[in-house]
């Protein structure tokens, strides 16, 4: 396998039981094997993708003193601007070579959440920035819920097992800017080798290459989706909840060849988090004599806090 498997959401949505089962089998086996797929026929239109890239490039082009106005202390980076080098991979001290923005959940009035999410930060200089970001957020959330429905069926659960937890969940849309590299990085890369924290991550096609995935045999392979596909991978929460049946694969964003250092890179991942009171206890369907329970019991909120401390976004 030299690239990640490709799957077609249209199979799942076709109304044909065979097509639906084909998608369930393909995405489930891919997530057992490598933890990544590229997905076509998602809910993002080309027009919305173009508009979002226009808005985020406009934001990151603003002067640093303007962007810094939107870096809000005390939020642990959950909303607004996070400046260059602030985040690092777990276990690594060098900051990643990136700056980014966080859009977060706006829950329904009747969501009955046990927590209150921070409000999104409004960018005054770009009147369409927040609206466009949240429109993309909703389309990615919708896509992610269908992926989770397919995985529920693959695991032998009710199809809608994840719906309550993922709808109104603590998901984050993160537009990232990797600026041009101007000097030899001292041990730093654009994003150090890491696993994602959440249930699943949906990544909109990056503007330049660099995303690599660690295969089971220890080889790094390039993740190269087609232009109209999303890259979708399993996060640590789902790996833990499925007792390692579905794999949260280590991945990284490597620095480009020196001749391409002058090019910026943009990417837009959507980190699909559940409500904080979801129990991530290893599900009984994934425990047997050959696969004993691998993890202690924990909620999504407790796990998220633990990991945000480890990657440097919040203090203990």
Q: How far apart are CA 295 and CA 244, in angstroms?
A: 9
State residue 85's pLDDT score: 67
- 194 and 90 in contact (C-beta within 8 Å)? yes
pLDDT along the chain (316 residues), means of 10: 85 96 97 92 95 96 95 86 69 65 95 92 97 98 98 98 96 91 60 84 72 85 85 95 94 71 84 97 95 96 88 70
State residue 88's pLDDT score: 46
State residue 73's pLDDT score: 84
Architecture of 6-310 per CATH? Sandwich (2.60)
**Strands 6-8 vs 36-40: parallel, antiparallel or unpaired:** parallel
Q: How remote is the C-alpha of 70 from its chain's centroid?
A: 22
**Whether this model's pTM surpasses 0.85:** yes
Residue carrying structure tokens 């057992």: 32
Burial class from Cβ neighbours inside 10 Å (0-12, 13-18, 19+) for residue 144 reads buried
């Amino acid at each position: 396998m030299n690239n990640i498997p490709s799957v077609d959401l249209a199979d799942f949505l076709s109304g044909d039981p065979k097509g639906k089962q084909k998608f369930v089998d393909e995405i489930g086996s891919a997530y057992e094997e490598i933890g990544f797929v590229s997905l076509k026929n998602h809910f993002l239109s080309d027009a919305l993708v173009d508009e979002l890239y226009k808005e985020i490039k406009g934001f990151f082009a603003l002067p640093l003193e303007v962007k810094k106005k939107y870096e809000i202390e005390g939020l642990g980076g959950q909303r607004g601007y996070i400046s260059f080098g602030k985040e690092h991979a777990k276990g690594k001290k060098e900051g990643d070579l990136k700056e980014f923005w966080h859009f977060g959940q706006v829950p329904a009035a009747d969501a009955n959440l046990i927590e209150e999410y921070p409000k999104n930060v409004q960018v005054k200089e770009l009147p369409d920035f927040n609206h466009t970001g949240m429109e993309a957020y909703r389309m990615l959330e919708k896509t992610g819920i269908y992926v989770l429905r397919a995985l529920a069926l693959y695991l032998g659960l009710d199809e809608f097992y994840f719906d309550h937890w993922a709808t109104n969940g603590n998901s984050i849309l993160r537009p990232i800017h990797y600026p041009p590299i101007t000097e030899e990085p001292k041990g730093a890369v654009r994003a150090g080798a890491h696993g994602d924290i959440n249930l699943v991550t949906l990544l909109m096609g990056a503007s330049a290459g660099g995303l690599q995935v660690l295969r089971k045999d220890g080889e790094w392979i390039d993740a190269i989706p087609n232009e109209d596909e999303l890259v979708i991978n399993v996060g640590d929460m789902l790996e833990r909840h499925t007792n390692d049946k579905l794999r949260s694969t280590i991945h990284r964003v490597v620095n480009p060849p020196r001749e391409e250092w002058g090019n910026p890179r943009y990417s837009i991942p959507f980190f699909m988090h559940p409500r904080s009171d979801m129990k991530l206890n290893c599900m009984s369907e994934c425990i047997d004599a050959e696969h004993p329970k691998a993890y202690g019991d924990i909620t999504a909120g407790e796990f998220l806090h633990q990991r945000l401390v480890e990657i440097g976004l919040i203090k203990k």
